């Protein structure tokens, strides 16, 4: 989700937000993750030289059309030369099959039941987005191996909404500080996030340690074998997490909304975030771009668009 989507949703409940205090992204309980070994950017670099052992697949669930100001910061002079217009956005999830640990999902697509968990205010905001669902997580799951775990890039509804179609016994992993981020917008957004997570066990928070190489804030070797890495990239949200997957057909970098569109990645445009989050968002995007530039074999998967020339999933 983008900052302006948050603003639209929050604006619908201005009276509530004006009188209330900041609150957390979710009140759902959080525990420290049981998996993931703290590592460095150098360790992650070294893993790229080894053959991949997991498979990787991107799935497309839904699309919506949003004004460019949803994705780039129109208050930043850097965006002055970008013409007005719309951007096509897509809701994706990613499937990783590990030979020992089984199937995991990165993000969750969307569920037909999402409406039932949204508060009235949030439902109006989401309906205004005119999201065109192509398939739900429940439809995709038909005939598929049930995932053993979900790794989230962050807790916005367009990344967690498909959880409703997964068994509530599925462990859900999230970036550190994501659940606890305080904002007034959460007065509107928080209850719906709580409702989506209802019935699931506590969120398992990645236990990042400072990355001694300085490449990122923190890097985790998720399974301890170099196949999947969680990368701390705060800014779009406090616990935004990217994932590097060393797949059998080459390394794949899932950026989440740390970088959501081609304008943000290829043209280097800043995304609209709060003043307090701006420096983090810029630094995280810069670090991801540098990492990719150093390793041109990595295929990049942006939060809501395909890259120029990249094959769009069916």
Nearer to Zn ion, 154 or 287 (CB): 154
Shortest distance in whole angstroms from residue 158 CB to Zn ion: 7
* Tokens linked to 232: 């701390």
Stretch of 76-84, 97-105, 136-144, 155-163 contacting Zn ion, by CB under 5 A? 155-163
Shortest distance in whole angstroms from residue 113 CB to Zn ion: 20
Nearer to Zn ion, 12 or 281 (CB): 281
DSSP string, 19-32: HS--EES--S-EEE
Shortest distance in whole angstroms from residue 240 CB to Zn ion: 8
Shortest distance in whole angstroms from residue 181 CB to Zn ion: 12
Stretch of 113-121, 149-157, 227-235, 285-293 contacting Zn ion, by CB under 5 A? 149-157
Does position 10 bind Zn ion by CB under 5 A? no
Residue 150 CB-density burial (10 A; 0-12 exposed, 13-18 middle, 19+ buried):
buried
Rounded to the nearest angstrom, the gap between the alpha carbon of residue 19 and the centroid of all alpha carbons in its chain is 30
Does position 156 bind Zn ion by CB under 5 A? yes
Shortest distance in whole angstroms from residue 193 CB to Zn ion: 12
Nearer to Zn ion, 181 or 205 (CB): 181
Does position 110 bind Zn ion by CB under 5 A? no
- Which whole-number Å values give the CA distances from 222 to 34, 78, 157, 173, 288, in the listed order? 10, 36, 24, 11, 18
Those residues whose C-beta lies under 8 Å from the C-beta of residue 233, and which sit 6 or more positions away, are: 216, 217, 240, 241, 242, 255, 256, 258, 284, 285, 287, 288
Rounded to whole angstroms, how far apart are CA atoms 184 and 195? Answer: 18
Nearer to Zn ion, 141 or 150 (CB): 150
| Site residue total, Zn ion (CB under 5 A) | 3
Does position 1 bind Zn ion by CB under 5 A? yes
The SS3 assignment for 58 reads: strand
Q: What is the dihedral of CA 84, 90, 91, 93, to 10 degrees?
A: -130
Nearer to Zn ion, 223 or 265 (CB): 265
Does position 73 bind Zn ion by CB under 5 A? no
- Contacting Zn ion within 240-259 (CB under 5 A): 257
Q: Helix/strand/coil (H, E, C) string of 144-171?
A: CCCCCEEECCCCCHHHHHHHHHCCCCCC
Tokens 């041109």: give the residue. 296
Shortest distance in whole angstroms from residue 253 CB to Zn ion: 17
Does position 28 bind Zn ion by CB under 5 A? no
Under 8 Å between Cβ of 220 and 242: no
Does position 105 bind Zn ion by CB under 5 A? no
Binding site for Zn ion (CB under 5 A): 1, 156, 257
């Amino acid at each position: 989700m983008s900052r302006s989507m948050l603003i639209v949703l929050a604006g619908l409940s201005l009276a509530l937000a004006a009188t209330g205090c900041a609150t957390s992204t979710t009140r759902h309980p959080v525990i420290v993750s049981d998996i993931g070994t703290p590592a460095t950017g150098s360790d992650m670099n070294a893993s790229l030289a080894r053959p991949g052992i997991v498979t990787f697949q991107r799935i497309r669930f839904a699309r919506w059309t949003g004004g460019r100001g949803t994705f780039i910061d129109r208050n930043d002079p850097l965006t002055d030369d970008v013409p007005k217009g719309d951007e096509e956005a897509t809701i994706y999830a990613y499937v990783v099959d590990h030979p020992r640990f089984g199937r995991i999902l990165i993000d969750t697509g969307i569920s037909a039941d999402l409406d039932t968990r949204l508060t009235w205010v949030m439902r109006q905001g989401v309906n205004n987005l005119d999201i065109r669902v192509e398939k739900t997580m429940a439809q995709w799951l038909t005939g598929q191996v049930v995932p053993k775990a979900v790794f989230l890039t962050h807790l916005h509804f367009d990344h967690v909404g498909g959880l409703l179609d997964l068994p509530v016994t599925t462990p859900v992993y999230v970036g550190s500080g994501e659940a606890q981020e305080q904002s007034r917008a959460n007065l509107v957004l928080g209850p719906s996030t709580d409702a989506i997570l209802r019935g699931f066990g506590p969120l398992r928070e990645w236990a990042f340690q400072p990355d001694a190489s300085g490449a990122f804030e923190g890097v985790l070797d998720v399974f301890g074998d170099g196949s999947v890495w969680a990368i701390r990239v705060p800014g779009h949200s406090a616990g935004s997490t990217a994932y590097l997957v060393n797949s059998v057909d080459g390394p794949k970098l899932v950026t989440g909304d740390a970088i959501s569109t081609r304008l943000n990645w290829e043209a280097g445009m800043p995304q609209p975030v709060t003043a307090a989050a701006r420096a983090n968002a810029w630094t995280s995007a810069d670090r991801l771009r540098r990492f990719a530039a150093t390793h041109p074999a990595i295929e990049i998967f942006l939060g809501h668009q395909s890259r120029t020339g990249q094959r769009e999933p069916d």
